[in-house]
């Protein structure tokens, strides 16, 4: 296993330079977990290097023959900075770690203790370049034959400035704080409100809202952890959004992306029903008629007297979106109207039976697999017209599914002697 690992490393790194110790250095990573502590933590490269050095772990079994301290830069040995430590090192020099226990070497009581460091950092075999380097505390298998490619070591990241000839222990990078983003979406008519919540609330930045992969709102500021905006004029149908948090300072907080939020715009979701308010004005003799619903405004035009009835017409539209799996069965969109009640004037009371409202349904030609219901004529008979539930359209995902644009030409044929006034009824569309 060790031979395979070593060969793989050399294939990547290639042969490196010969050091002053006469050994070919390798980028082979034989580092063992541990912490090096030194004093001081910064200084001049031209003065005495180190007053003390400690290693938090001792030498592993098989690597207790000797020890050294060396400087490496970009994986290359730049030079040894201490005398060779051996198990026979005098106690006044400190503890070498070669017995398996943590190591500690100081210049107390021996100020010339070369086992701590025996030369200035500027006096090592190969000069350091400006930038990061490593101080490595080595445990060697053999005290007189150092194999820096396979012997064990602990690393301390450091930095060097070749211009000022100064060194320092590298300041560890503080990782950016992670964030999470959640999203809600709601529709009112053709407007969609999207709201992103970013935690922690201290994270400063902006949010980009996307529909699929397309940005629909960018640079929305996060205030107290919340970014919200209204998307106007959204087309009918199922809309799916995500929110991406972009931190002001990526070094302080990470970015994050929400899960998707889906909202239905301008359509009816089965099962359920949508009541549509219908109003009609019957003037003295003949006048205007208006039909409105909760999803659309339907103009019936001017009611005209003909064939003994007051006649008016208009178009009601409905959209059905079918995203079910194949085999889910057929859906039906039905309509049922109540009696019309006169509201102006409120007295005396007057009504128009719902039987006098009929329709002729149709389905857009670009809709696959959906069919329109049959025509229903206005009728004076009990249960006639739309006073009974009638089918507007039907469809099935087995036959194509998708979006069905259905409509109905509404026909009102009220009795010719209907009292003048404003009448109101409710037309309920039900999708099951």
**What are the backbone angles phi and psi of residue 318, rounded to the nearest 5°?**
-150, 145
Q: Which residue has the tokens 């082979």?
A: 28
| Domain stop point among 117, 145, 169 | 169
Are 283 and 232 within one domain? no
Residue 80 counted as domain residue: yes
Residue 175 counted as domain residue: no
Token pair listed for 148: 């820096």
**Considering the chain, what percentage of its residues have pLDDT values greater than 70?**
81
Residue 174 counted as domain residue: no
Q: How many domains does the chain have?
A: 3
Cβ–Cβ < 8 Å for 185, 192: yes
Residue 53 counted as domain residue: yes
Are 211 and 335 within one domain? no
Are 40 and 153 within one domain? yes
397-419 burial code (b ≥16 CB/10 A, e <16):
beeebbbbbbbbebbbbbeeebe
Residue 68 counted as domain residue: yes
Name the more confident of 266 and 73.
73
pLDDT in the model for residue 84: 94
Are 360 and 403 within one domain? yes
| Domain stop point among 110, 142, 169 | 169
Are 84 and 189 within one domain? no
Q: What is the mean predicted confidence (pLDDT) over 398-413?
A: 77
Are 260 and 277 within one domain? no
Are 330 and 247 within one domain? no
- List, as one string, the DSSP characters of 189-221: TTEEEEEEEEESTT--EEEEEEETTEEEEEEEE
Are 144 and 231 within one domain? no
| Domain stop point among 169, 196, 230 | 169
Are 308 and 289 within one domain? yes
2 membership: H or E segment, kind and range: helix 2-13
pLDDT in the model for residue 293: 44
Mean pLDDT, rounded, of the chain: 83
Name the more confident of 23 and 359.
359
Residue 233 counted as domain residue: yes
Cβ–Cβ < 8 Å for 317, 295: yes
pLDDT in the model for residue 7: 26
Are 190 and 161 within one domain? no
CATH number where 224 lies:
2.60.40.10
Per-residue pLDDT of 137-168, as tens digits, reads: 999 999 888 888 889 999 999 999 999 999 99
Residue 6 counted as domain residue: yes
Least confident span in 41-45, 233-237, 403-407: 403-407
- Which residues form the domain of 361? 272-431
Per-residue pLDDT of 324-352, as tens digits, reads: 666 677 888 899 999 988 888 888 999 99
Are 47 and 158 within one domain? yes
Per-residue pLDDT of 29-81, as tens digits, reads: 479 999 999 999 999 999 999 999 999 999 999 999 999 999 999 999 999 99
Per-residue pLDDT of 112-125, as tens digits, reads: 999 999 999 999 99
Contacts 24+ apart (CB under 8 A), 39-42: 41/168, 41/169, 42/166, 42/167, 42/168, 42/169
Token pair listed for 79: 């030079």
Residue 21 has pLDDT above 80, yes or no: no
Are 208 and 164 within one domain? no
């Amino acid at each position: 296993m060790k031979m395979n690992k070593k060969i793989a490393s050399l294939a990547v790194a290639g042969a490196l330079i010969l050091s002053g110790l006469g050994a070919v250095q390798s980028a082979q990573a034989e580092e063992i977990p541990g912490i090096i502590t030194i004093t001081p933590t910064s200084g001049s490269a031209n003065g005495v290097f180190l007053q003390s050095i400690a290693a938090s772990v001792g030498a592993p079994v098989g690597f207790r023959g000797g020890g050294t301290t060396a400087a490496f830069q970009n994986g290359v040995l730049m030079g040894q900075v201490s005398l060779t430590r051996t198990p026979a090192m005098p106690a006044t020099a400190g503890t070498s770690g070669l017995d398996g226990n943590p190591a500690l070497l100081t210049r107390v009581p021996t100020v010339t203790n070369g086992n701590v460091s025996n030369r200035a950092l500027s006096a090592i075999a190969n000069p350091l370049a400006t930038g990061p380097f490593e101080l490595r505390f080595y445990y060697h298998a053999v005290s007189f034959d150092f194999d820096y490619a396979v012997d064990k070591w602990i690393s301390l990241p450091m930095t060097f400035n070749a211009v000022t000839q100064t060194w320092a222990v590298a300041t560890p990078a503080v990782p950016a704080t992670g964030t999470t983003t959640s999203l809600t979406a709601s529709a009112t008519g053709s407007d969609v409100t999207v709201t992103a919540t970013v935690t922690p609330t201290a994270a400063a930045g902006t949010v980009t809202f996307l529909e699929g992969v397309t940005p629909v709102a960018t640079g929305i500021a996060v205030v107290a952890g919340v970014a919200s905006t209204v998307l106007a004029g959204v087309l009918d149908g199922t809309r799916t959004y995500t929110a991406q948090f972009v931190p002001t300072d990526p070094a302080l907080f990470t970015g994050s992306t929400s899960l998707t939020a889906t909202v239905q715009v301008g359509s009816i979701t089965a099962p359920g029903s949508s009541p549509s308010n219908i109003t009609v004005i019957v003037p003295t003799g003949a006048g205007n008629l208006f039909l409105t619903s909760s999803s659309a405004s339907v103009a019936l035009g001017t009611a005209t007297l003909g064939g003994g009835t007051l006649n008016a017409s208009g178009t009601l539209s409905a959209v059905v979106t079918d995203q079910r799996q194949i085999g889910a069965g057929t859906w039906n969109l039905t309509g049922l109207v109540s009696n019309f009640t006169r509201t102006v004037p409120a007295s005396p009371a007057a009504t128009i039976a719902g039987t006098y409202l009929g329709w002729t349904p149709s389905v857009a030609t670009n809709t696959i697999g959906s069919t329109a219901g049959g025509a229903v004529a206005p009728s004076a008979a009990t249960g006639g017209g739309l006073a009974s539930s009638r089918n507007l359209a039907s469809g099935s995902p087995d036959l194509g599914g998708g979006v069905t644009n259905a409509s109905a030409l509404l026909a009102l044929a009220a009795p010719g002697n209907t009292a003048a006034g404003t009448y109101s009824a409710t037309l309920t569309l039900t999708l099951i």
